[in-house]
A and B are shown apart, each in its own frame.
Chain A
Amino acid sequence: MKLRNPLIPCVVVAALLAACGGGGDDGSVEDTAVPAAAADTPAAYTDFAVAQAATPSESAEPLSLDNLAMPPTSETAYRR
């Protein structure tokens, strides 16, 4: 696996977060599940985890993993 354009993770995270909806107290729909797109590639999976890890919450319920039948993995990718 070749190293990727550094802008790609930002785009992926933005897209995934948009797919999740968001908000809560403002009346918008809260996230309830990890989007299927997060399982598209190992990079997307890691990027979603990065976005989640960056936003700890004391009040949120965990997201369902029902969309993640088989988390993507890589035997060749280097750390980022």
Chain B
Amino acid sequence: MNALLRLFRAVLDHQTPTARSEGMLRANLTADQLSQLDAHGYFEVLGGESGHRFRVCRSPSINVEEFDEAGASLCRWCLLPTGMLPEGDVLLAQKIAIELFESEARAIANVYPARLCRASRFQRFDVPSGA
């Protein structure tokens, strides 16, 4: 009986917008990006024009972080497709925008200074001595 319930739930889950969008996202990530997403809740993308590294995180907003060549956090972007799309679609749209039309995406995005956002593992800090 439990197995039947699990199967029923799996069928239902597969049909939800969240599950559908997650499936499409996962089908359009590289193996490395998929590993990052599963392990850390983010994946990294190279900007098609700047060559900068971007980290796209599972988060409802301000979830795209841009890094310079040295790995320092430059800023965070808030950039969303219109239409209240489920999370997987949003993340995939962000990945494609960074890869294929970075300048247009940058012009549309609201960009926030890195210092106003929480620290990340790649962010450089100027830590005062003795701190």
Physical interaction between A and B? no
Which residues from chain B sit less than 8 Å from chain A, CB to CB?
none
